[in-house]
Amino acid sequence: MRQISIEVLKERKTKILSAVIYHYIKTGKPVGSSTLIDEYSVSLSPAAVRNVMVELEEEELLISLEKIKKLDPSTIVYPGHESMTTIANELKHNPFLIR
């Protein structure tokens, strides 16, 4: 089995997370592994990209969204992709929170 340095793994995670965030900011939609490979020059197989995305989630970089779902629906938030809104509105319209 081939060993990969920790630095290379961190670089992969950083590149994929940056692409996921950039794509969401640009389109407002979730992104799949094939789009990351085709549009953001991620040079891994689709399965490897999905594995990294799972690792990111496990590291709580994406799990924070679950914490947001538990906030009071009337809580006012400034999500960055639009103007002031409420958790209730985000739960209805934000694709990262609709699951």
Phi, psi of 43 (to 5 degrees): -100, 65
Q: Which of 99, 42, 41 is nearest to 66 (CA)?
A: 99
In eight-state DSSP terms, residue 85 is E
Contacts within 8 Å (CB) and 24+ apart, 34-43: 40/15, 42/15, 42/16
Q: How far apart are CA 63 and CA 29, in angstroms?
A: 17
Written as six digits, the tokens of 67 are: 């914490």
Can you list the positions of beta strands (E) in 13-79?
76-77
pLDDT of amino acid 58? 76
Torsion of Cα atoms, 67 then 60 then 50 then 77, to 10°: 40
pLDDT of amino acid 68? 84
Amino acid letter for position 73: P
Which residues of the chain are under the pLDDT cut of 70?
Answer: 1-4, 60-62, 99
Residue ranges and CATH numbers for the domains of the chain are 1-62 (1.10.10), 63-99 (no CATH)
